[in-house]
Amino acid sequence: MEKSVILERVYVVPLKRAWNSAYHKRTRKAVRMLKEFASRHMKSEVVLIDRDLNNYIWRKGNANPPRKIKVKMIKYDSGEVIIKKYEEKKITKKEEKEMKEKGEETIKQKESVSEQDQQQEKKKESVKKQEEKTQKKSKSSTSSKK
């Protein structure tokens, strides 16, 4: 039986309050805080932490957990939530070159295109405003001559 994903979100979870506890309990408290955060935001009681994320939290030992962590939370139809470490996919120059050869747009190109579209829309709006002003002036000048 395959699980289907209901909800998938990315959060930056603050763990700085774990540092208020005794140094030998900090990482355990950070893990507990992460689970509580997930259950509160994803509305589920069953929360599981991925092995890689757990290793990341515990990598500096019991006394020095991270102050904040970026995670990806996935909720399945069974009601369980799995928390994984969030990793952005970085495109290398070689991959970008291959994508250009295939004709695919890269993320950077899409962003620049959307920025260009916004600039064009602003120009169109300013031109319309200027035309309206000139029309009003011409109407007022014609009415004053009569």
DSSP per position, 52-110 = HHHHHHHTT-SS---SEEEEEEEEETTS-EEEEE--PPPPPHHHHHHHHHHTPPPHHHH
Predicted pLDDT of residue 13: 96
Structure confidence by residue, pLDDT tens digits, 33-90: 999 999 999 999 999 999 999 999 999 999 999 999 999 999 999 999 999 999 887 7
| Per-domain residue ranges of the chain | 5-85
Domain 5-85 classification at class level? alpha beta
∠ Cα 76 79 83 (to 5°) = 60
